[in-house]
Chains A and B, each alone.
Chain A
Amino acid sequence: MKHRKSFFPMRKEFDFGQAVVEANRCLLCHDAPCSQGCPADTRPAEFIRKLRFKNITGAIRTIKENNILGGACGVLCPTHRLCEKACSARMVSEGRPEGADRPIQIGKIQRCLIEYTWQTGFKVFPKPAPRPEKVAVVGSGPAGLGCAAELAKDGYRVTVFESRPEPGGVLRYGVVAYRFDDKFLKKELQDIKGLGVRFRCNTPIDAQTGVDWLFEQGFGAVFLGPGLWGATSLVPSGKKIGGVFSSVDYLSALRDGRFDQMAKKVEGKDVAVIGGGSVAMDCVGSAVRLGARDVYLVYRRSFTQMLAEPDERVDAQEAGVHFLLLNQPVGYVSDGRKHVKGVRLVRTRLGKEDASGRRSPVPVKGSEWTLPARVVIEAIGNVAPADSPRWYPGVQVDGHRRVRIHPETGATSRKGVFAGGDIVRGPGLVVQAVQDGKAAARAIKEYLREVKQEGRS
């Protein structure tokens, strides 16, 4: 299919020479602010310095030891508001000797170094001495992988349970391939498999099996990182309208073998995407690539209030997406065959600040109108599936079915069960999820040590 070309492979960034040139621009700050800006403690100041001093293997080691998904984060992180935001090179303004008013492009250097390990076959981790303790990780997304790798590095026997056919979670099924593709993911997963982590795909830990089953299998501790794969919808529950997809479903389709099928549905059609976050941007961008006639982004607030990153917003506009701002969807119009043919919208204006600190949209009376659309993608929030609390009995959840944890250890209310990633914090960044997994892994080690000691005494 012709549209596949625009999805694969993902865009190339720095080659090694470019990364070295960029590293040479680094000011090598004392107490470097970039390193303080990384949620997963990937230590950009350290790996850039190492690259600068030709210690390339050391640079790679710094990244991978601290962030097992260093490659993925190098690609996907909104670095402009994390490490690069803090970059001192950014502060050196006109008239100063360096003239460097751009931050060092840390994400691109990081990605390049990880790709370099795959080109050279450099092995970061020595083979760990095996330990007897078994840990189960539920979900193979960034949180689960972060946890699994951190444990496996110390020789723990880790098995990752994944409900889908391939590991990776959101990296595999929730991001468009032109931003992050299977090939890249496979290589990064290989680094984790190399540590001895086992993956059991097509194995959901759900209401039938549940964490009890895992404990019965002899796992000493369980980490929950299932992510958020349920979707909020404007379609009343129990009803179904053809042509209306959740972003979860739509984006998964583009990654799980239904690509051509979905492409056929979108090509030549008018597509409306509802929402203003990064996921919505993946939806509009991919719809354009699939050959949609017109792609509308429907958002009830203003441009500056969108949660999508600034570069994503600009990319979407440059791709030709029509931004319908200050328009709130109120329902769908269907044709005679229960297929959507339009979105009912009401215009809004901004009123008082709401709980999120942003001015809230207020509908303008009598301004309702219908946007014709044959495909609608709802990107208005991922949630935990309705029955998810039954997967892990004894684990406390909040009103949104998000798992409650101890903020430092990731421990849930159930002994031996830890959690992290989106199921805890709500939709977040890959790098935050990795950190959650890492922190929980450390707590799991401590927990298992205590259990062992109790067993002895």
Chain B
Amino acid sequence: MKGPVDLSVTFCGIAFKNPFLLSSSPVSNSAEMVERAFQAGWSGVVFKTLNSDRLPITHPSPRMHCIHYGNSKEIAVQNVEQISDRPLKDNLLECLYLKKHYPDHPIVASIMGFFEDEWVYLAKAAEDNGADMLELNFSCPHMCIEGAGHKVGQAFHLLERFTEAVKNHVSIPVMAKMTPNITDITEPALYAKKGGADAISAINTVRGISSVGLDDWVPRPNVFGKGAISGTSGPAVKPIGLNFIASMAKCETLGLPLSGIGGIETWTDALEYILLGAGTVQVTTGIMHYGYRIVEDMIEGLSDYMASRGVPSVSDLVGKALPNLYETEAFALDRQGIVQYDMNKCVGCGQCYIVCRDAGGQALEWDRRKRRPRLVEEKCLSCMLCSFVCPIPDLISFKEMPREWKRRETAVKDPSLTAEMKYEPFKKEGPDECIT
């Protein structure tokens, strides 16, 4: 039932009708496009990164490639597109148009400069022409000139300096967009905070190579015989995005609002980001695949979810999974379980048997005549691999075993070799943690 749920969020003091924004990318390239996105239901836009016209921007051709997997298309998109190639004047006019006609749809202007004055110039130009907020692009993975793109995102002192410079000259909120092409995202995020950033968005695309041509040996996209390491996006990178959002949300010294990006197509994807601490989410690749229309299902799906669980406001969901997020050492290892099979549903394909034998605990036996697996419970590792390949939903599930239950140790192939073995047990005392 469409109940009295409220999808609106306040992010850095700015009101959005829902948490779903276009991210800065080809999908937010012009006012004509963004206008249609607003009409479809997107609450706001991070406009395609503005440039100062100082250096000409020309996009490589072709710009993108993608990865299909089995029958699934576009599980990832690979792109070598640059920041906006449109003249700054045009982009500012577009912002003015959107501000004038869609005053209740906030505009976040993404900007990217190469040195302080350029950052400040772009920030002021955006502020003066309708931007409600700024996103500093510290993360474009294929703008490789020193001092720009993800190189800045990796040079923390620059990131702090540019943020500070922008903050000193504008009064609208400033969000820093992070690259995932680093080890610990909280580090640069804290530098951005030191520079005065009001929020952090993450992630930009992950540096990758989607595929290599086997006939021409050119990594894709093949730009007239040349390939490059470039930005990977889409459902395949969602786990990376969730990691970075959760890591920042867990970092108490950071404590800034977060905008989640990476592989979001459905309301469930968005909700996962929100539960891990994102206050808004941004989408590009999902739109590249299906169009602006996916927001209808994000809105309706999240509304119905909230109504069914009696959650009145999105803010009541932000970060709700974080208390359940631990380091792996917190796991209760004295509790163990195994898989259980509902054999009434089994169709006898035997994929479970293959993966258990070759990658699991060899806990399945195969009845060739009946074409059915048989579980040897005390050998089951509870790796769950069999449940991943099973074509029947809910046939294989996890169950906890009693505390006294013991898993059988993996058998040694030939114990008679003990006589030939050279072995001395390790006896030195040491710490329980890794020393760096």
Contact = CB atoms under 8 A, between A and B. Distances in A.
B300 A55 contact: yes
Interface stretch (A46-54, A104-112, A273-281, A448-456): A46-54
A25 B266 CA distance: 17
A57 B305 CA distance: 9
B297 A49 contact: yes
Interface string B61-85: 0000000000100000000000000
Interface residues of B, number: 19
B304 A57 contact: yes
B1 A123 contact: yes
Interface residues of A, number: 19
A17 B304 contact: no
Interface string B256-288: 000000000111100000000000000000000
Contacts of B2: 126
Contacts of B308: 57
B290 interface: yes
B290 A55 contact: no
A237 to B, nearest CB: 55
Interface in B291-309: 293-294, 296-298, 300-301, 304, 308
Contact of B393 (A17, A58, A126): A17
Given A17-B393, A24-B71, A49-B293, A54 B1 contact: no
B212 interface: no
A241 interface: no
A58 B41 CA distance: 15
Nearest to A123: B1
A53 to B, nearest CB: 4
A55 B301 contact: yes
A28 interface: yes
B14 to A, nearest CB: 27
Interface string A149-188: 0000000000000000000000000000000000000000
Contact of A54 (B266, B392, B393): B266
Contacts of B304: 55, 57-58
B392 A17 contact: yes
A363 to B, nearest CB: 55
A126 B268 CA distance: 24
Contacts of A57: 300-301, 304, 308
Given A49-B297, A50-B297, A123-B1, A55 B392 contact: no
Contacts of A56: 301
Given A55-B267, A123-B1, A126-B2, A50 B392 contact: no
Interface of B: 1-2, 71, 265-268, 290, 293-294, 296-298, 300-301, 304, 308, 392-393
17 contacts: A17-B392, A17-B393, A50-B297, A53-B265, A53-B297, A53-B301, A54-B266, A54-B297, A55-B266, A55-B267, A55-B297, A57-B308, A58-B297, A58-B300, A61-B300, A122-B1, A126-B1
Interface of A: 16-17, 24-25, 28, 49-50, 53-58, 61, 122-126
